[in-house]
Amino acid sequence: MMKILLSILLIIVSFSFGFSQVGINTTDPDASAALDIVNDERGVLIPRMTTAQKNAIVEPAHSLLVYDTDLEGYYFNQGTPTTPNWVLLLTDVKTRDNYVIVKSVEDFPGGGQGGTITLDENTLYEVNGTITLSQSIDVNGAYLIGKDTNEDVLNYTGNSALFTGSANASFRNITFNNSNSGSLFNLTASSTNSLIAQSVVVNGFSSVGIVGGYGLVFFNVVQYIANSDGITYTDIGNLLLNNMGWQPSNGGSYETFTGTFGFIQKVSGFTTVGSGATGLDVSSNPTVSNGTLKSVVFSGTGDYVDSYTGTGTYTGFNFTNDWAVDCIGIPREDDDNASGNIYITRNSTTTNPSFSIASATPINASIDPGQMFRFSNSTSTVTVGNNVLKYEGKETRTFSISGNLSYQSTNTSNSGVETVHVFFIRRFDSSGTDLGVPLGTEVYSEVGADGDELVRAIPLGGKVTLDPGDYVRIYGQFISATGTARNNIRVYSVSLTLE
């Protein structure tokens, strides 16, 4: 009997009932609370279960609370018992619509079921950990990210392309792995679409793949490791490649450009080319309105650039005048280092004609091109002779002139007198219009009367400003004589350089 009384007393001390209120460890529960628990050493332990167990609860009450051990969060039923809707209880991370945490391939729509996984448009998929999959993924305008590039990985075991489709796509903070069986990209979109990748590692693919048709492609901080072949970009409006890192373990052609581009901008990063590989391939002669290749370090034992060919190329250089190139390991190419040189054909002196310079006359001799970069020694408006240096850059530039000319007066009438000649540079525009003689380019020479057959050497110098398509020629002209002028000359040597 005493034990029964003690038990009743303990219950009375521990619990206080009033107006359906329950107090645990308190005799004065808060008036607003149905249950008031007071304890400074322990908490309340909510039922813990897996996602499958949570979803198996029969007719869970509205607001029923559990802890999901798979999703690592408190979830409550925001729906009805017949139509549950389990919602993550607010934490320090705000939730958002169109957001999916991916911890297994099954978290992708259609994942693990065969066929192609088609991501939901405008949905952000956050990869958590390593996800192994053999299915291709249609990007379909979705976003695919990780939080830790080294830990959040898509391990693709298929043999086609991991990413396919024709819509927008964005990748960030993630690694893509393959065992040399498939490619990463087979993406062909339209000019209204964009493709963005930031802080991405691409490892072990048989080919990085093909990206084409996009209006904008922006890759930033992408590292390529042990891929058997590289990536081909084709017909892209604006292509921006910033801080690409190509390791020597890659093979094939690392980056290939084909088709037509609005602009290509490849800046910083490195391309370490392994033996037998090619760093950058433009051998298909892509059309690029404006190309920029700056501050990329080219190194390694392979071929750094498979260059443009044919019209618009220059010996010893890789690109056309649509590009500005300034990188370690390959020749610098820009309008500000354009230069051209012409000179008389060696051993041609006896075949060079004697000609008159009674009036302003271009020098007539057999002329060969020397080292040319964004210059040529021919133009459609000059049909006789090749005493021409034409500027083929895209921006107006001022050039320094240097050169020399040696000649002999060939008059033998025994009546010729001392004669003054002038030699100078004359500028023309692309249509052949005479733009005059640049100041300071004239040099004067005097020959003696008949019998003076000395060969005279004169320097050429000065500065000239040229627009794209402008060209210069060397001219000679009789200036003065006190009798019969000695106006006929033969040229023995010519050299003219603009740089």
**Per-residue pLDDT tens digits for 252-283:** 999 999 999 999 999 999 999 999 999 999 99
Residue 75 domain flag: yes
- What CATH number is attached to the domain comprising 478? 2.60.120.40
E strand segments, 72-165 = 73-77, 86-88, 99-102, 117-118, 124-127, 130-133, 137-138, 143-146, 153-156, 161-165
Pairing of strands 375-376, 389-391: antiparallel
Note down the domain range covering 78.
Answer: 47-93
367 and 445: one domain? yes
Report yes or no: 244 and 218 within 8 Å, Cβ to Cβ.
no
Residue 169 domain flag: no
| 463 token code pair | 């500065």
40 and 54: one domain? no
Averaged pLDDT, 22-28: 78
Q: How far apart are CA 251 and CA 87, in angstroms?
A: 48
- Write the CA distances from 352 to 147, 273, 407, 494, integer angstroms: 75, 49, 11, 12
88 and 13: one domain? no
Report yes or no: 391 and 470 within 8 Å, Cβ to Cβ.
yes
Q: How far apart are CA 111 and CA 35, in angstroms?
A: 45
pLDDT number for residue 19: 47
The number of folded domains in the chain is: 3
Report yes or no: 94 and 70 within 8 Å, Cβ to Cβ.
no
Where does the pLDDT of residue 30 fall: very low under 50, low under 70, confident under 90, or very high at 90 and above?
confident
Is 90 exceeded by the pLDDT of residue 411? Answer: no
344 and 383: one domain? yes
Residue 149 domain flag: no
Residue 136 domain flag: no
Residue 256 domain flag: no
Is 90 exceeded by the pLDDT of residue 390? Answer: yes
Q: How far apart are CA 77 and CA 61, in angstroms?
A: 7
Choose the final residue of a domain: 57, 72, 93.
Answer: 93
Where does the pLDDT of residue 488 fall: very low under 50, low under 70, confident under 90, or very high at 90 and above?
confident
28 and 58: one domain? no
| 235 token code pair | 């017909």
38 and 4: one domain? yes
Residue 416 domain flag: yes
373 and 433: one domain? yes
Is 90 exceeded by the pLDDT of residue 14? Answer: no
Is 60 exceeded by the pLDDT of residue 309? Answer: yes
360 and 432: one domain? yes
Report yes or no: 251 and 273 within 8 Å, Cβ to Cβ.
no
Cβ-based neighbours of 349, under 8 Å, separated by 6 or more: 490, 492
| 181 token code pair | 């069986």
Where does the pLDDT of residue 224 fall: very low under 50, low under 70, confident under 90, or very high at 90 and above?
very high
How many percent of the chain have pLDDT more than 90?
72
362 and 419: one domain? yes
428 and 459: one domain? yes
Averaged pLDDT, 46-65: 92
pLDDT number for residue 21: 74
28 and 62: one domain? no
Amino acid, single-letter form, for residue 135 = Q
Pairing of strands 169-178, 153-156: parallel
411 and 376: one domain? yes
Residue 59 domain flag: yes
| 297 token code pair | 């370090």
Q: Which of 321, 344, 343, 325 is nearest to 333 (CA)?
A: 325
- Average model confidence (pLDDT) across the chain: 90
Residue 293 domain flag: no
Is 60 exceeded by the pLDDT of residue 246? Answer: yes
